[in-house]
Homo-oligomer: A and B are copies of this chain.
Amino acid sequence: MPERDPVFRRLTLIGAGLLGSSVARVARERRDLAAEVVVTDRSVAVLDRVAALGFADQIEPDAGRAVAGADCVMLCAPVGAYAAIAAAIAPHLAPGAIVTDVGSTKVSVIRDVGPLLPPDVHFVPAHPLAGTEYSGPDAGFSTLFEGRWCLLTPQDGTSAVATERMADFWRRAGSMVEAMDPVHHDRVMAMVSHLPHLIAFTICGTADDLATEGEGAAATRPEVLKFAASGFRDFTRIAASDPVMWRDVFLNNREALLEMLARFTEDAQAMARAVRWGDASYIEDRIGRGRKIRQGLIEAKQA
């Protein structure tokens, strides 16, 4: 890696879960992302783990004190906590600092955080499309963002220099960066991420309920677990994701998520009707589309 100045002098991460701890780790491992990494989290237990894991230059339990003097402040908490965090840090932000985030919704983040920030601060909302089904400071790793997309949703009036600094930051972390309109971002993510997660959580719940029916149940719990490899298992990986994070995503991308779920439900009901009335060619045609999408992924090397 060629010697070059770090993008930021002092990077403050608010929240040290899977995402925050991964950003801290990659920043510590490379030296060109941030000269100094400050970590704050509302949980003392998490901060104790951060200290033990040793990926922060400074640990500061008070969010206001943590952001003082930082030229970049990154929100890495569930999006439902953003408004309270923004209110707490706003008076302490340094003039010219960049405030950014890693949240999975962007319209709600702009709505909740934007109005609370002082005018001399640059707000560059971001969404690195990276994660695993694990959570917490132990789950992070420095290569989490490698080869993954990071979507930036700057608004009219956002400084182009600040946006480019964030793009530079994520590229150095290994990501491919793209700018996107926040409303469009939320609809795309509702389809490719939020709806699949809602469906995965739901089918796991359906199976779990079924398995608790006892005597005469359609499938007992041992049977669900033993035979999960027949298809069900593919849904359980993403269904293991963090409940609080996903609860907040669903509540903060409500309209787009409900629209995509309504589309999916119509399609599932049409399939049910075809099954009930034996419409073989309809079923075959709809199944054929799945193959086409998979083929597209293989060609796009995303499979």
What are the interface flags for A62-89 relative to B under an 8 Å C-beta threshold, 1 for contact and 0 otherwise? 0000000000000000001000000000
Q: Are A219 and B294 in contact (CB under 8 A)?
A: no
Chain A contact residues: helix, strand, loop or mixed: helix
Report how many copies the assembly holds: 2
Please give, as numbers and ranges, the residues of chain B lying within 8 Å of A262 by CB-CB distance.
272
CA distance A258 to B207 in the complex (A): 14
The residue of chain B having its C-beta at the shortest distance from the C-beta of A276 within the complex is B258
Please give, as numbers and ranges, the residues of chain B lying within 8 Å of A198 by CB-CB distance.
268, 271, 275
Q: Kindly specify which of A19-27, A111-119, A156-164, A238-246 makes contact with the partner chain.
A: A238-246
Task: Report if A52 contacts B (CB, 8 A).
Answer: no
Task: Report if A4 contacts B (CB, 8 A).
Answer: no
Task: Report if A143 contacts B (CB, 8 A).
Answer: no
Beyond A287-B247, A291-B243, is A300–B231 a contact (Cβ under 8 Å)?
A: no
Please give, as numbers and ranges, the residues of chain B lying within 8 Å of A199 by CB-CB distance.
199, 203, 235, 268
Beyond A190-B218, A238-B234, A290-B204, is A228–B280 a contact (Cβ under 8 Å)?
A: no
CA distance A192 to B195 in the complex (A): 20
Q: Kindly specify which of A31-39, A92-100, A248-256 makes contact with the partner chain.
A: A248-256
The residue of chain B having its C-beta at the shortest distance from the C-beta of A230 within the complex is B193
4 smallest CB-CB distances across A and B, nearest first, come from A239-B290, A193-B230, A196-B231, A240-B294
Apart from A191-B210, A247-B284, A251-B275, what are 7 other A-B pairs with CB-CB below 8 Å? A189-B227, A192-B230, A201-B287, A202-B267, A202-B286, A237-B294, A258-B275
